[in-house]
């Protein structure tokens, strides 16, 4: 027998026969709250993206070069949010989402050089409306599989009609080489139909080391080619690095 495909009004009717009115209203209210919260995260993500674009523009004017190669933003999918909360045995409601998930709004910044990552981080953290909640330096301390990036959890205000609301945004900063490795690793590791062997993991780790070597050599070249920029900012890495 062919499965019947329900249209929206049939679903509504069926719901009314199966679930009481109060429960339907409760579900609608809850989904409305989640949609509103997601739009707040979107606004916070846009704020951070704008701040980064402003810094990039300023550096472009001052030094005739861009520390940012590209910026990607994403809101965590509702399914990933649900999975993450389920995994932690937490209920799916807006309060729990806000308190326990730091990466609903995500900004990924692909930088030209490794030192640009620390320079941009320093410039962002100097801004008085940004609070740093957490920093994970997987560049100074790469993950055992070779993953490198600088992760920040920031709190930033958005200004709504009803007033100010602080929102959390996860910012991942990486070089082009780090992004290349992480994107390919992600594709390879999540291929469902092939087993990921120990040898494959070792090969990936080797590739991560090559990408690290590439970044170090590129930074060295950059210091020779653009000394003015380096003289102004010095070795930012040494000031901000997380041991």
Residue 237, Cβ density class (10 Å: 0-12 exposed, 13-18 middle, ≥19 buried): middle
Binding part of the chain for ligand 0O2, among 8-16, 99-107, 201-209, 218-226 by CB under 6 A, reads 99-107
Which of 151, 165 has the CB closer to ligand 0O2?
A: 151
Question: Which secondary structure element, helix H or strand E, spans residue 39, and what is its range?
Answer: helix 21-63
Using rule CB under 6 A, residue 228 touches ligand 0O2: no
Smallest gap from Cβ 101 to ligand 0O2, in A, equals: 8
Size of the site for ligand 0O2 (CB under 6 A): 11
Which of 34, 205 has the CB closer to ligand 0O2?
A: 205
Binding part of the chain for ligand 0O2, among 38-46, 49-57, 139-147, 224-232 by CB under 6 A, reads 139-147
Which of 185, 215 has the CB closer to ligand 0O2?
A: 185
Choose which of 116, 185, 212, 215 interacts with ligand 0O2 (CB under 6 A). Answer: 185
What's the CA gap between 193 and 190, in Å, rounded? Answer: 9
CA distances from residue 29 to 94, 138, 155 in whole angstroms, order as listed: 11, 40, 26
Which of 100, 127 has the CB closer to ligand 0O2?
A: 100
What's the CA gap between 95 and 71, in Å, rounded? Answer: 29
Strands, sheet with 131-137, edge to edge from the N-terminal-most edge strand: 68-75, 105-111, 163-175, 150-160, 131-137
In the chain, the DSSP E strands lie at 68-75, 105-111, 131-137, 150-160, 163-175
Using rule CB under 6 A, residue 136 touches ligand 0O2: yes
- Give residues 205-224 in contact with ligand 0O2 (rule: CB under 6 A): none
Using rule CB under 6 A, residue 143 touches ligand 0O2: yes
Contact (CB, 8 A) for 114 and 140: no
Enter the tokens of residue 24: 């339907």
Using rule CB under 6 A, residue 38 touches ligand 0O2: no
What's the CA gap between 147 and 57, in Å, rounded? Answer: 29
Smallest gap from Cβ 141 to ligand 0O2, in A, equals: 11
Which residues here bind ligand 0O2, judged by CB under 6 A?
A: 102-103, 106, 136, 143, 145, 147, 151, 182, 185-186
């Amino acid at each position: 027998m062919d499965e019947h495909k329900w249209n929206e009004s049939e679903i509504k009717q069926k719901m009314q026969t199966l679930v009481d009115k109060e429960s339907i209203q409760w579900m609608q209210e809850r989904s409305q709250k989640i949609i509103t919260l997601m739009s707040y995260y979107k606004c916070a993500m846009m704020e951070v993206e704008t701040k980064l674009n402003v810094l990039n523009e300023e550096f472009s004017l001052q030094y005739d070069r861009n520390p940012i190669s590209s910026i990607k933003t994403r809101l965590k999918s509702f399914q990933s949010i649900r999975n993450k909360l389920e995994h932690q045995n937490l209920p799916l409601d807006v309060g729990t989402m806000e308190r326990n998930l730091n990466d609903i709004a995500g900004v990924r910044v692909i930088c030209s050089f490794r030192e640009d990552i620390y320079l941009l981080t320093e410039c962002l953290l100097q801004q008085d409306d940004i609070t740093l909640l957490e920093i994970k330096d997987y560049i100074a301390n790469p993950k055992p599989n070779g993953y490198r990036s600088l992760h920040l959890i920031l709190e930033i205000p958005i200004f709504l009609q009803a007033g100010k609301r602080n929102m959390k945004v996860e910012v991942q900063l990486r070089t082009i080489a780090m992004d290349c490795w992480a994107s390919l690793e992600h594709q390879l590791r999540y291929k469902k139909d092939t087993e990921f062997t120990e040898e494959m993991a070792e090969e990936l780790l080797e590739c991560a080391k090559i990408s690290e070597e590439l970044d170090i050599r590129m930074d060295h070249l950059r210091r020779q080619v653009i000394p003015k920029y380096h003289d102004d900012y010095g070795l930012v890495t040494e000031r901000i690095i997380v041991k």
